[in-house]
Structure 1
Amino acid sequence: MISSWVPVIVMLGIFVNGARSENVTRPCATLQTSSSVVPIGSPVTATCVISEDCPLAVGQAVHTEWRLGDRLVPSSPVANTSGRVSEAVIPSFNHSRAFLTCSIQGSPPQVVAGVEIRAGYPPEAPQNLSCQTNLTTPKRLTCSWDAGQRETHLLTKYTLHTQIRYSKKNYTYQMPPGVCSFSIPRLDFGLFSEMIIYVRAVNDLGEATSSPITLEPISAAKFDPPEIVKIEVPRKYGCLTLRWCLSRHQAWMSNQRMNIEVRLKTADSNEWSEIPVNNIKPSRPVDQCRLLHWTRYFAQIRVRFQQSPWSEWSSSQSGVTLESAPTGHLDSWMKVSQDDVTKQLNIHLFWKASKQFRANSQSVSYMVSALKEGKGKVCSTRENNCTFQLPRRAKKVYLTAVNSVGKSSPTEVRILHHKDREAVSHLKAVPRDNSSFLVEWEGAVTPDLVDYVAEWRPLLETGLSHIRFDTAEKNRSSLVLTGSFEPDKPYGISVYPRFKDGIGLPQTVNAYLRQKAPSMVPEMKIKKTWKSQVELTWGEIPLAERNGIIQSYKIFYWNEKGPINIVNVDPAERKVVLQNLKPLSRYEVFMMVSTMSLIAIFMILTGIGVTLSLLVIFVFLKCLSKHKRLKRRLWPSVPDPANSSIKRWTSESTQDIRSLNVGQQEPNLVYLSHLSFLDLPMKLSKEEDLWSNNAEDTSDLGESICGSPFIPGYSGSNSDSVPYATVIFSGPCSSPSPKKPHVYLRSESTQPLLEREESFSPKCYQNMVTDEVSREQCFFGPSHNCGPGEETGPDILWDDFPFLRALAMNDIQND
């Protein structure tokens, strides 16, 4: 803030304190410095001279003071000047800019002179000067540079200088402050004319010039991406021919020799290989050889002129090299067993491409033969495995890859039998990443050990085609298995030691790439119970549902009042005995199944009772499911005719019923409300006498049979009672037994008169046995099923009619 008002004070002091003459106003003091612009950190010397006619110093001693900004600066008067000349020295000026003032002491001090001092650094030489030509519209040569790392704190001006060597033309371009680039117009340069270009920086403390560069503008041009016209396949194995051209904007450069770079990659790879090709015209094709046979390659190119910047890469084009015979050998793995029936060897042979093997064809098959020349073929397949039989004396087979052009050199495979030798221990397999396993083991190195074979397969799949293998040198104890592994699926991994004379015993582990909770839990069952113990068992979780390696079963159980008890069960046991249980108590049981991922799921078994409680619950549930049958056993099904809604039977209705002829026509169905006899036999059985004598106990259903309300002199104990059936005979009580069948008429009461209500199409029921009456009669009229030819035991049918049972008569009673 001081720097803004100090000049005002100085000018005001000069105006007030200056002496006025006729034509000019003289200042009160003058101030001189060694330099107004100095390098930062350098000393500064200043002198202040107060004039004789300064009004502030007339008739008195003059005392001056110096200030740099708002800081007091030491000073000293010059001898023999009466104090009117003062000198100040600043040993190190460390400000980029500041005001130095000279004042006459007073209250307040009066500023009589001042000056601004600036400090900074001289410019550095511009660095990294580069130029690039733009060949598209507008055509320009753009140059740029770096001003330097150090700030000068002073105004620095940059100028771009060009010299065209052959035309002797020079051009200078002034840059605006802070700008470090410039585009030279097309008229000031020639594309194929050599130029010298440099940059100069200037400020108050000095100047600096960059290192000059010499170039042809065309050699500084960045071309557009070229174009691959097509890729041809020459009649040479492992070669491709690329035909290319410049973009249409740079087609006028087609006769110039260019430098290009070709990059290639196979279809199944992400890595590019770059091949430079120098000094070639765009009209000339480019051959790329030493490529893999029968392999699809993708190609891109970029271009530049001499040492110009590279263009961007062109778009990709692809081509396939010629097919040739397979080359290299195959890695193999064999499993041998003996067939006791055929006395031959069962051989399962697996193979895969080695690092040196090349199929050189899209379609390749494999042949296994007993002889090196390809004779004695035992197997031919397009798969990577084969099963065949050989005599026991066979020692080796030969594996050959075949395509349409030829076949590879045979790979010798020795037939090695399995031996009871251990050389692998402490095998473990852990996930390495999302697509591979790290397999580690401890091996016993022996002189005849050749290598190790790691075999793996998905345990949920069957068939030889799912088996994969890899090999490791004998001095190694780990191997990374890569492949299309699926998470949450089990894999069996085995490591075999392979000796010169056989295959040793393997170590095998099951592994998961990623584990989760099992998809199910086994069902717990009660196997045995004691007074205070219960044994629970469960089955094994299916392999497809485990989703990991089972680590433990944990059983939680408790009763209604007790604490929660926990029992850990070994995964191999699958049974547990819960001890110290309270008799006659109900327990709830949970199961937790854990895998390596520490995720668990639960299964509950409720209602585990000990001894008597379990039996009581079972009997109670059984009774609920059979409640109808139980009701008949405990309580007889007694109808309640008193609550029937059927109207009383009139005497007119009775007379109509008496006149019914059952043999000729179907009786009219009369709704009955009394059990009464319209006709009686001469003799009564003891059962009938007892029933008729207990009229009060049976609520008028047991009234005297001859004392019916429809017989003169009837005097029932309950005149308002509601009978529920009437048995109609064909003659009076004193007449002999009728010759025509009797008819039972049943009430349509809403009360449960019998054990169950009859359906709308009633069945036949058995009547009393007489000499001339058929054994079956029907309620509610005749039935098609009624006939004299069918007989049903009377005891069975009469059991369904408890109150009509008293009417049953046999042949002896009829007599």
Structure 2
Amino acid sequence: MIPTSKDMKDPPEKPVNLSCMAVQSGRKMSSCVTCTWQPGTRDERLKTTYTLFSSLIVSNKSSKANRSSGYIDFGTFPSFMELAMWVEVENKLGKVRSDILDIYAADLVKTNPPSDVNIISKNNFSRTLLVSWKHPIHVTYVMLKYNIRFCTVGSGDWTEVPPNDTESYKESFRLQYLKPDTEYVVQVRCIHYRGYGYWSDWSANSTARTPEDKPTSKPDLWRVVIPSQVKSERRVQVMCKDPVESNGRIRGYSIKIQDGNWMTVAVNDSDLDSRSQERKIIPLYQIPWSDKRRGLIELKAWNSVGESPQASLGIPKLTQEPASVESLSWFTQQGRLWVKWQPRNVTATGEPYRSEVTEYILEWVSVSDGAMDWQRERRHTRTAAIKGNLQKFNRYNISVYPMYSGWTGKPLTIAAFLEQGAPLEGPSVKVRRTGKNEAELEWMEIPQDKQRGFITNYTIFFITGGKEHSIVVSTDTYSYTVKRMASNSKYVVRVMASTVQGSTNSSDLSFNTLMYAPGQIEAIVVSVCISFLFFIVLTMLCCIYKMDSIKKKIWPPVPDPSNSTIAKWSPDFTSKADTPKESALGDVSIVEVDVFDRKSLCEEDKAGLPLKKDKYLSEEHSSGIGGSSCLSSPHQSVSDSDEGGDEGQTTASTVQYSSVVASCGYKGQTPCPLPLSGSSQTPSFARSESTQPLLDSEEHPEVPESHQRYLRNPYFGRLPGGNDGDSGDLEDLNQMEMKKQGLALRRFCPLEEDFQQTTPTEEGQSPDGQPGPDPSYMPQLSGYRPQC
């Protein structure tokens, strides 16, 4: 800073706060008096000098000084004298002087601290220590008074002895009301006995331990109830802490349960452990305790001097435990864990464990390692800070026990954290079951020592096709079924656990959904099998119900000529006598019919098939009139020989039969009446044979031998015993047979012209209305089924 013109015109600033001091040198006071002051704040650009002045009655002295301090050597300390002290400041612009300090020489004195401070401990005085020291300077120079302070080792909380107790000029003092078996640190200082001058510095630390005394407080007795494998029984672990005022090293404990004898439990703690500020938990006994048992546990601690007062703890019956507190909560404040509870209103009943609450016990257990501790609180306390050494991110189970004159009540427990954080690891996830459109996920709870806080929720993430979906579930859910998933698709899932301070994900897990739902394939197979079985059963029932129709469709009935009613006719003349002349059959044709030519033959029948071959068929060469000409297989034509005809019908593997087709246009099995001689109409004779076997009902092995000759060719014949005189009866019989055969043919496939030509008015009549001659063959009864 460059001085201004105004600064250049001003004189130096006046020094203030002048003070002086004389210190001890050796066994006497130093001859030099040192003074200090506070110079001005103005920046000194000009050369400035400082001079310290003193004035005594006999002489004046001065000496050059620094800007803020200086000293004057008197040669000999001016004891019991009054002097004046001041400072002068001078530069080119002027000179200024401080205020004058008028002071006695005793007010300048500061001696050394007392020397050789010593502490003496006596066995009979367990609460006192004797402190001794030596004067730092001879009394001829300065008469002193002393000040003593002390504290326990490591505390730093000093306690000063009242000044009035040490005003006299002495070299020892006894400290009282100390704690037995406690190590103390003592310091001493001194000053002019009238308070003049300055206090000396504190002396060096001096340490000593008070002697032991018998314990003056009760041991801190507590118990932990352990569930037992034996029914209706508990196990009680008795434990304790040393008395707060143990007054020495506790050597052991004496314990008594109810009315039993006193038992001694020795404690092997070292001196270092016993002098530690931390009170250790000492397990004593583990006792089996019935649920119906009520008892009192008593405990005393003892050391080398004596025993402590007796502590007691009552354990009621399990069914008679007093009530717990009504509510319990916790919170953290300023790095400490606080517990708050609300007591329950309990009316005193006169019983020792039913009276009012006398105190509360706060118990906390570390979930990670099981370490536990407790503390006691007064009866009117509702909120308390836990005094133990709690760890961050560690879960503790805190319980509050109301105590009723030494009897324990029911506890109320709550979990708490001093400080919470994100979990150390995520849940362990696995797929329990997969389906077509769903998957069941299951995960294990994170170990409590790794949760580092209360889990608020779980979040399930599942990814497929580049899209991520999430589902939030509660903290008590450890399995979840994810639905509405795509079938036969790949999914990646993970589960995130969250606390109030953060979240941690599990590792990713991949799986595929199924193409078909479980049991779907089995259901399809079972359904198909049941349907097929139902179809088979239904088909079988239909076959059984329609057996006759199906049998006729597969194996059509083949007429058996041997079973025809014509076979029962007995001719009254020989075959050869009835054989017509060959000229009468000039227009008869023999037709070979193929079973595969059914359509063509039927169409030819409708057009009136002309007869190709003229031949007269005798009775032995005639086959029965059948309706199967369209279905007959081809074969050789019938021989003219009687013998050949018989042989062929007896030994051949096929049944030969033929049908007479009337020229009048009849179709089917009903033949037209033979025309009169000389008529222009000539019947056509169609011949066929079938390869199908005869029906069982058409076989008659019991036919008499007298009819063998007629059974071979039963289609044409006359009634037995017939003659010319019986022509009327025979004509009536033919009319009746033809009526029956006409009715039967209507049930098959008669053409329209057949129905018109077989009316009763036309039967047995010639075209001119006159009765025709007797037919040369008998009409068939119950005619055969037509083959077309």
In the superposition, the TM-score normalised over structure 1's length comes to 0.51
Structure 2 contact 114–133 (Cα < 8 Å) conserved? no
Q: Which residue of 2 aligns with 1:495?
A: 400
Bigger Cα Rg: 2
Distance (Å, rounded) in 2 between the aligned partners of 1:370 and 1:426: 33
**In the TM superposition, what whole-angstrom CA distance separates every residue of 1:13-51 from its partner, at most 9, and x where no partner exists?**
xxxxxxxxxxxxxxxxxxxxxxxxxxxxxxxxxxxxxxx
Displacement of 1:235 after TM fit? 4.3
474, 479, 482: which one pairs with 1:578? 482
Q: What CA RMSD, in Å, does the superposition of the two structures yield over aligned residues?
A: 4.5
Task: Quickly say closer, same or farther: Cα 1:291–1:503, change in 2 above 3 A.
Answer: closer
266, 269, 277: which one pairs with 2:152? 266
> Where in structure 2 are the equivalents of 1:352-391 lying within 5 Å?
352=241, 357-369=244-256, 376-378=261-263, 380=265, 382=267, 384-387=282-285, 388=287
Displacement of 1:599 after TM fit? 4.0
- Give the unaligned 5+ runs of structure 1: 5-68, 70-94, 98-117, 616-815
2:500 is equivalent to residue 612 of structure 1: no
Q: Which residue of 2 aligns with 1:563?
A: 467
**In the TM superposition, what whole-angstrom CA distance separates every residue of 1:582-610 from its partner, at most 9, and x where no partner exists?**
1111011122222343142432112x111
Displacement of 1:534 after TM fit? 0.6
Structure 1 contact 142–182 (Cα < 8 Å) conserved? yes
Query: In structure 1, the residue corresponding to 2:398 is in which secondary structure?
Result: strand
Structure 2 contact 22–109 (Cα < 8 Å) conserved? yes
Distance (Å, rounded) in 2 between the aligned partners of 1:553 and 1:505: 34
Distance (Å, rounded) in 2 between the aligned partners of 1:208 and 1:540: 82
Distance (Å, rounded) in 2 between the aligned partners of 1:215 and 1:370: 75
Structure 2 contact 79–141 (Cα < 8 Å) conserved? no
Displacement of 1:522 after TM fit? 3.8
Q: Which residue of 2 aligns with 1:533?
A: 438
In the superposition, the TM-score normalised over structure 2's length comes to 0.52
Corresponding letter in the other structure for 2:452:
N
Q: Which residue of 2 aligns with 1:700?
A: none
> Where in structure 2 are the equivalents of 1:334-733 lying within 5 Å?
334=223, 347-352=236-241, 357-369=244-256, 376-378=261-263, 380=265, 382=267, 384-387=282-285, 388=287, 396-416=296-316, 419=320, 423-432=324-333, 436-446=336-346, 448-461=356-369, 466-499=371-404, 503-559=408-464, 561-606=465-510, 608-612=511-515
| Greater Cα shift, 226-235 or 577-586 | 226-235
Structure 2 contact 125–211 (Cα < 8 Å) conserved? yes
Distance (Å, rounded) in 2 between the aligned partners of 1:503 and 1:520: 40
203, 207, 212: which one pairs with 1:323? 212
Task: Quickly say closer, same or farther: Cα 1:224–1:500, change in 2 above 3 A.
Answer: closer
Structure 1 contact 426–442 (Cα < 8 Å) conserved? yes
2:201 is equivalent to residue 312 of structure 1: yes
Displacement of 1:484 after TM fit? 2.7
Displacement of 1:488 after TM fit? 3.4
Displacement of 1:472 after TM fit? 2.7
Structure 1 contact 300–315 (Cα < 8 Å) conserved? yes
Task: Quickly say closer, same or farther: Cα 1:254–1:490, change in 2 above 3 A.
Answer: farther
Task: Quickly say closer, same or farther: Cα 1:254–1:175, change in 2 above 3 A.
Answer: closer
Query: In structure 1, the residue corresponding to 2:445 is in which secondary structure?
Result: coil
Distance (Å, rounded) in 1 between the aligned partners of 2:137 and 2:35: 25
Query: In structure 2, the residue corresponding to 1:564 is in which secondary structure?
Result: strand
Q: Which residue of 2 aligns with 1:47?
A: none
Structure 2 contact 78–105 (Cα < 8 Å) conserved? no
Displacement of 1:325 after TM fit? 0.6
Task: Quickly say closer, same or farther: Cα 1:458–1:343, change in 2 above 3 A.
Answer: closer
Corresponding letter in the other structure for 2:514:
T
Identity %: 20
Distance (Å, rounded) in 2 between the aligned partners of 1:489 and 1:172: 74
**In the TM superposition, what whole-angstrom CA distance separates every residue of 1:218-252 from its partner, at most 9, and x where no partner exists?**
x6134267454665546422233345457xxx677
Q: Which residue of 2 aligns with 1:287?
A: 174
Structure 2 contact 362–399 (Cα < 8 Å) conserved? yes
Displacement of 1:393 after TM fit? 7.7
Distance (Å, rounded) in 1 between the aligned partners of 2:346 and 2:40: 69
Corresponding letter in the other structure for 2:201:
E
Distance (Å, rounded) in 1 between the aligned partners of 2:432 and 2:383: 46
Q: Which residue of 2 aligns with 1:26?
A: none
Structure 2 contact 128–176 (Cα < 8 Å) conserved? yes
> Where in structure 2 are the equivalents of 1:38-57 lying within 5 Å?
none
Query: In structure 2, the residue corresponding to 1:487 is in which secondary structure?
Result: coil
Structure 2 contact 119–132 (Cα < 8 Å) conserved? yes
Distance (Å, rounded) in 2 between the aligned partners of 1:599 and 1:227: 65
2:85 is equivalent to residue 198 of structure 1: yes
Displacement of 1:482 after TM fit? 1.7
Task: Quickly say closer, same or farther: Cα 1:227–1:280, change in 2 above 3 A.
Answer: farther
Task: Quickly say closer, same or farther: Cα 1:152–1:446, change in 2 above 3 A.
Answer: farther
22, 46, 52: which one pairs with 1:132? 22
Task: Quickly say closer, same or farther: Cα 1:300–1:508, change in 2 above 3 A.
Answer: same
**In the TM superposition, what whole-angstrom CA distance separates every residue of 1:627-679 from its partner, at most 9, and x where no partner exists?**
xxxxxxxxxxxxxxxxxxxxxxxxxxxxxxxxxxxxxxxxxxxxxxxxxxxxx
Corresponding letter in the other structure for 1:547:
R
- Give the unaligned 5+ runs of structure 2: 268-280, 348-355, 519-788
Distance (Å, rounded) in 2 between the aligned partners of 1:208 and 1:267: 48
Task: Quickly say closer, same or farther: Cα 1:210–1:427, change in 2 above 3 A.
Answer: same
Q: Which residue of 1 aligns with 2:69?
A: 181
Displacement of 1:292 after TM fit? 0.9
Task: Quickly say closer, same or farther: Cα 1:254–1:132, change in 2 above 3 A.
Answer: closer
Task: Quickly say closer, same or farther: Cα 1:254–1:173, change in 2 above 3 A.
Answer: closer
Query: In structure 1, the residue corresponding to 2:59 is in which secondary structure?
Result: strand
Query: In structure 2, the residue corresponding to 1:223 is in which secondary structure?
Result: coil
Query: In structure 2, the residue corresponding to 1:505 is in which secondary structure?
Result: coil
| Greater Cα shift, 405-414 or 290-299 | 405-414
Displacement of 1:525 after TM fit? 2.0
Higher fraction of strand: 1
Highest relative contact order (Cα 8 Å, sep 6+), 1 or 2? Answer: 2
Corresponding letter in the other structure for 1:367:
S
Query: In structure 2, the residue corresponding to 1:216 is in which secondary structure?
Result: helix
Displacement of 1:509 after TM fit? 1.8
Structure 1 contact 445–475 (Cα < 8 Å) conserved? no
Distance (Å, rounded) in 2 between the aligned partners of 1:526 and 1:171: 105
Structure 2 contact 80–104 (Cα < 8 Å) conserved? no
Structure 2 contact 250–301 (Cα < 8 Å) conserved? no
Structure 2 contact 393–417 (Cα < 8 Å) conserved? yes
Distance (Å, rounded) in 1 between the aligned partners of 2:81 and 2:242: 58
Displacement of 1:190 after TM fit? 2.0
Distance (Å, rounded) in 2 between the aligned partners of 1:225 and 1:160: 32
Structure 2 contact 85–102 (Cα < 8 Å) conserved? yes
Distance (Å, rounded) in 1 between the aligned partners of 2:482 and 2:231: 55
Distance (Å, rounded) in 2 between the aligned partners of 1:591 and 1:184: 85
Query: In structure 2, the residue corresponding to 1:556 is in which secondary structure?
Result: strand
Structure 2 contact 257–295 (Cα < 8 Å) conserved? no
Distance (Å, rounded) in 2 between the aligned partners of 1:309 and 1:601: 70
Corresponding letter in the other structure for 1:589:
V
Displacement of 1:183 after TM fit? 0.5
> Where in structure 2 are the equivalents of 1:204-219 lying within 5 Å?
209-216=99-106
Distance (Å, rounded) in 2 between the aligned partners of 1:516 and 1:613: 44
**In the TM superposition, what whole-angstrom CA distance separates every residue of 1:357-400 from its partner, at most 9, and x where no partner exists?**
4111123433233689xx83156354545444689786644332
